[in-house]
Structure 1
Amino acid sequence: MAGFGTAGTFTKQIRSMNPKSTRLLLLLALGLVVGSSHRPAHLPQATPPNIIFILTDDQGWTSLSSPMDTGVPESASDYYETPNIDRLARAGMRFTRGYAPAAICSPTRRSIQFGQTPIRQGDEEFPARYRPGGQAPRSIPQVLKAIDPRYRAAHLGKWDFRAELVPEQVGYDLSDGDTRNGNGNLVQVKGDKWDEHYLTEDPKKINTLTERAIAFMQKQTSAQVPFYLQLSHYATHVNMETKQATLDHFSKKKAGKRHSNPAWAGMLFDLDTGIGEILDEVEKLGIADHTYIFLMADNGAVEFLPPVKNRLDHPSKFKEPMRNYPLRGGKWVLYEGGIRVPFMVMGPGIKAGSQCEVPVIGWDLLPTFAELAGGTPMPEKGRDGGSFVALLKNAGQGPVNRPVQDFYFHRYNAGYPHSAIISGNDKLVHFWKTGKTELYDLENDKGELVDLSTRNPAKAKALDARLLNYIKQHNPGLLTAYTKKSQPKEKPED
């Protein structure tokens, strides 16, 4: 203890004092010791980290210029360029089996925000179940603020919950409101959005969103408070918008076998540039040592440009490889191309350039953020996700303690409704109109080319039973929703 020398000297000094002074000094010393090791329960122990979550739109697993799986060269694009996302991957950890909760955007976004499967949340039922003041579980910002009330949260960009629920009603301090795809288009589509492209210096509002995100980061850093920033980009959802210079660059580049559209490539490159500005600002602000940056897509890329109607067909039926090859399918379907997406994290304690083979999914993000912020890694009742902080801290090795380890998916669509279960390396897809099931071994057949259901009927039956049991427990209406007497109205695909 400074000013008192050794312990023996300190004891002699106490003995030489009168009793009243001795008692006062002992009480003071005890107060210093207790004060240094304990704080009132209502005060945060230390400033928790900042968390930045970048959610891209319709970006496939193979839509990066670096591979999402270093053991699978085809998992990198043969045409697109994403130097800044590649930089994020090199600085942190990439997940070879990172999954979106759904094959389309709205159920994915809802799932991430509350840490639940889209099956549990429902589709048509969601607006009523999750209305303000209802019984909905806490959202990401509400959980973080319960851990440390100093957190400030912003949601910028696309919200698209298809419900009367805006970000401020679930704990965000700043947002763009109830935004959807149209809010990100600076140009009104006059022709076919799959064939046309539009030139602008702020494509899909990438520049505007990036500037506002940086301003939010600067403000919270200046105030010395932790922040959660969710930057939900409108890109790369069509319509296709890009800068003239970017379009010129890709128009001159040799086309790839899977990827060749210069306007879409330009839009992706412009998005990547905005992401690079976020990474740069984290460095400029000096907050890299206590900031985590997550990136994932809301679903896979569209299987072809323009898309096809027979998207559930076997890949052998098409003359050209799908854009998500070696994965099968794309947006709108529950094959791997529709749900396996770019998924990576960088931040303190994460080994640079590491790769994790353990499956993770969007509904794992909320409990992961909670643990990073100092909360419990154990999920609350009614959640489906589990924290994967152990994977981040141990070079991709460790447990993810979810209530249920299997992943459950459902495609809410009256035209081709189907559900899926992923259990380890086994995947079963159940088609509701025909009752047909397909079984795949994802370890040896990433492209889902060989249906094993007739070779291993026992496994197929067991997985189908688990899938139906989960649906029966959490959304039993789905079991009867696709009968002839009860056909849900088919909505136009987005």
Structure 2
Amino acid sequence: MKLFKITILIIVVLAYSLTSFSQKPNIIFILTDDQGWNDLSVRSNKDLAGSKSDYHETPNTDKLALSGMRFSDAYAPFCVCSPSRHSIQFGISSTSLNNTDNFAYGEKRSNPTFSLVATIKKIDPSYKTGAYGKWNLPYYSNPGVLGYDDWHTGSPVDPHKKPPEQEGKKMKDGTIINDDPKHINRLTTAAINFMTEQVSNNTPFFCYIAHWAPHYPNVTTQAMYDKYDSKTKGSYHSHVGRAAMMENLDDGIGRVLDMVQDLGIEDNTYIIFTSDNGSGVRGWIDKYAQQANWGDPAPLFGGKATLYQGGLRVPFIISGPGIEPNSWNSAQIIGYDIFPTICDILGGIDKAPGVVEGASLKEHCLNGSSAELQRNEEIDGFPFVFNEPDDLDIWEKSAFVKGDYKILLQHEYNPDRYHLFNTKEDISEETNLISVMPDKFSFLLRQWYNHVVDKKVTLPANALNEALTYLSNHYERDISRKVEAEDYRNGYGIVAEINEETKDGFVANINAKDYMDFELDVEQAGYYDVSFRVSSANSEIGFDIKKGSTIVGSINETATGNLQTWKSTEKIGIVLEKGSQVLRLEGTGGTWNLDWMEFEEADISIVNVKELKKKNYENMIHIYPNPAVETSTTLWFDNEIINQTFNINIHNIQGKLMFSKTIRNEQMKLNVDSYMPGVYFVSITNNEFSITKKLLINFVQ
């Protein structure tokens, strides 16, 4: 009889387990706004007492942390809201997206078919997806553009539009009193309704809850404000309004956790929690001194909009089936790891687009491994790269994190521009190690340079030149290799003049706008000095040295007086990556000849020179006026190329073809009176080239 009972029990438990794990997992992703690394009342690092608040109370988020795994070395994709959110939705770094400005569109759009929710639906079309709360992706007007089935901003006016600024009684510290602070209740209710509907329909779901809290300004209820006004202040957290809003936010999170229990889906639901950037505190900067009582991310330094750890480090929690409760993981992770992690949980990591740069955390969560994650990046041991735009009025502009080390580059304003920190031993970033570890800094600076040039990142004009100057003074160079003109004569597809008796040759009559593309095969990445042997009878000698669209050096020399009178140019320092790449010489002035170029380091060979004297068509085609302010604009071609045949196509921001025509010998008028305001892309192609220009339409019909 006892054997029978035990057998029945085993069968029942086994049947329940098989049923639970055979169900398709649900994913709930909670993203908070400006919530710092130590804003919770539970630690973000088990070994550091300062990694939790000494004033805020977040019992529900604490409960989530105790039910799952906390990552103690987690970074946000960026130090401000919009670029970070863009990065998360596509699994790509803000640097690769060239989207590092909170108030602009960035320079690289992402294809909506590569978005997180589009990929979820490729993995399993039965999934329903919902987005609730703050969107803040200027390129994409609403979550539906990226494929979300349902969304609500929390607005009481229109669920599909940004909510208005909240109003109410103002307290002595500027806090606003409102019954639904930061729309927490409204957007939480919308998310709960979505979850309930999917469970009732037996449909798996992905629910993205993006809170507006605890972003400034502080908004809370009267009862919560009174609670913290009478509570003893902490040593580094003491702002009544912010603390009260933090607990309002936590209440909203608690409602979601309770609903997961009420719906009975806790055994097949994963919950991911993090913040879009570090603490919303900038009081250490004089400009924001009036906000200094927001809080203190100590022991981290800095806060939102800075590239110190206080602006980048965030709390990060994952809870769900198979994850050990109250567990810790010290692996270095970043917000765009969420994309591949979700794909992996759903069993479709192979469906993640090839451009995704993040790494899946699934095995780390299930097995407890803290091993270094392998990300989709050529640089060994993928670094985290952060670059700020010119218009953020903050000193530091670039940061490069690789393992325990971080370099911080201040391109302007501050004479002490370069920093090297060991963030494991010096989490507060107090000790600059450049003087004691110069080789380490040079190594990381060289990798940063390679990365931003490869990604064509927008940086202050002097940033790359400063880096090259530093490397030229601190990085050891090797033996030289000279590349003679005959190495790239007609057999390599370019025009060259060769003396048949001596086999000596040179490239002749290079003019402004002419260019040569050299395909280099570099066996060892490094810093290289390159110089050129040139001549010119009676005109100046001018050309730029370019990697991609980035100018890495310029040559300007006076005439030599005779075509056979040669001289060597000044040395230009450039950084070359390992492997195949293209170096371009593009004429900027005069008519001149090239005999050779010389690299002052070995292990370089010229594979091919693609072409010579191909004009720069980009500067010969214009759209005017742009932005269009009337019902039409003109596509204008310079006289030098107007007699060619061109194929013209116009696409909107979603990729829809709006117009197509083939033209020749005409300046083309584009009628755009039926187009909605926004960004459009005009592609011009023929048998020699293909370029795309951006057209802005901002008039109202």
TM-score by length of 1: 0.81
Q: Output the amino acid matched with 2:314.
A: V
1:346 is matched with which residue? 319
1:209 aligns with 2:187: yes
Q: Which residue of 1 aligns with 2:408?
A: 429
Q: 1:335 aligns with which of 284, 308, 312?
A: 308
Aligned-residue offset at 1:430:
1.2
Assess if the C-alpha contact under 8 Å between 1:202 and 1:208 holds in 2. Answer: yes
Residue among 410, 434, 452 paired with 1:471: 452
SS where residue 58 of structure 1 aligns?
Answer: coil
Go from structure 1 to structure 2 and tell me whether the alpha carbon gap of 1:444 and 1:320 turns closer, same or farther (over 3 Å shift). farther
* Residue in structure 2 matching 1:412, options 369, 380, 389: 389
Q: Which blocks of at least 5 consecutive residues in structure 1 are unaligned?
A: 1-44, 314-318, 487-494
Alignment CA distance shift 1:396-1:282 (3 Å): farther
The CA deviation string for residues 164-221 of structure 1, in whole angstroms up to 9 with x for no partner, is 43210111001136999x9456524998x99411112111000101111100000011
Q: Distance in 1 between matches of 2:77 and 2:374?
A: 17
Instruction: Give yes or no for contact 1:127–1:164 (8 Å, CA) kept in 2.
Output: no
**CA RMSD after TM alignment:** 2.9
Kindly state the Cα deviation for residue 412 of structure 1 after the two structures are TM-superposed: 2.3
Q: 1:274 aligns with which of 231, 247, 252?
A: 252
The aligned length equals 429
Q: Is contact 1:60–1:301 with CA below 8 Å preserved after alignment?
A: yes
- Structure with greater helix percent: 1
User: Pick from 434, 437, 449: which aligns with 1:453?
Assistant: 434
Q: Provide Cα deviations, 1:110-146, integer angstroms capped at 9, x if missing partner.
A: 000001111111237846642xxx7456111111100
Q: Which residue number corresponds to residue 560 of structure 2?
A: none
For residue 66 of structure 1, the aligned residue among 31, 42, 49 is 42
What SS does the corresponding residue of 2:129 show, helix, strand or coil? Answer: strand
Structure 1 residue 301: Cα displacement = 1.2
Q: 1:119 aligns with which of 84, 95, 113?
A: 95
- Tell me how far 1:442 sits from its aligned partner: 1.2
Higher mean C-alpha deviation, range 54-63 or range 378-387: 378-387
TM-aligned CA deviation for residue 300 of structure 1: 1.1
1:222 alignment partner in structure 2: 200
Would the alpha carbon gap of residues 283 and 396 (structure 1) be closer, same or farther in structure 2, given more than 3 Å must change?
farther
- TM-score (structure 2 length as normaliser): 0.58
Using a 3 Å threshold, how does the CA distance of structure 1 residues 425 and 102 change in structure 2: closer, same or farther? same
User: Residue 93 of structure 1 contacts residue 352 of structure 1 at CA under 8 Å; is this kept in 2?
Assistant: yes
Secondary structure of residue in 1 paired with 2:198? helix
1:39-118 superposed matches below 5 A:
47-118=23-94
Which residue identity lines up with residue 341 of structure 2 in the other structure? T
Structure 2's unaligned 5+ residue stretches are 1-20, 466-549, 551-701
Alpha-carbon distance in structure 2 between the residues aligned to 1:205 and 1:151: 27
1:217-272 CA-to-partner distances (Å, cap 9, x unmatched) read 00011111111111000000111111111111111100111111111111000000
- Where do residues 83-482 of structure 1 align in structure 2 (5 Å cutoff)? 83-123=59-99, 126=105, 129-130=108-109, 135=111, 138-176=114-152, 183-184=162-163, 187-188=166-167, 195-303=173-281, 308-309=285-286, 323-376=296-349, 380-398=353-371, 400-404=373-377, 405-414=382-391, 415=393, 416=395, 418-433=397-412, 436-478=417-459, 480=461
> How has the CA–CA distance of structure 1 residues 173 and 216 changed in structure 2, closer, same or farther, with 3 Å as cutoff?
same
d(CA) in 2 for partners of 1:166, 1:368: 24
Query: Structure 1 residues 380, 194: closer, same or farther in 2, change over 3 A?
Result: farther
User: Residue 377 of structure 1 contacts residue 386 of structure 1 at CA under 8 Å; is this kept in 2?
Assistant: no
1:129, 1:136 within 8 Å by CA — same for their partners in 2?
no
Give the superposition deviation at 1:74: 1.1
SS in 1 for 2:349: coil
- In 2, Cα distance between the equivalents of 1:275 and 1:320? 25
Change (3 A) 1:128 1:424: closer
Task: Work out whether residues 189 and 239 of structure 1, in 8 Å CA contact, stay in contact via their aligned partners in 2.
Answer: no
CA contact (8 A) 2:128 2:198 kept: yes
Aligned counterparts of 2:178 and 2:116: Cα–Cα separation in 1? 34
Residue in structure 1 matched with residue 690 of structure 2 by the alignment: none
Is the 2:279–2:311 Cα contact (8 Å) retained in structure 1?
yes
Higher relative contact order (CA 8 A, sep 6+): 1
Amino acid at match of 2:150: L
Question: Aligned with 2:440: secondary structure?
Answer: helix
In the alignment, is the contact (CA less than 8 A) between 2:55 and 2:237 conserved in 1? yes
Q: Using the TM superposition, name which of 472-481 and 216-225 deviates more.
A: 472-481
Q: 1:473 to 1:119 in 2, by over 3 A?
A: same
Q: Deviations over 1:384-410 (max 9, x none)?
A: 111111110012434522023211111
Q: Distance in 1 between matches of 2:154 and 2:432?
A: 41
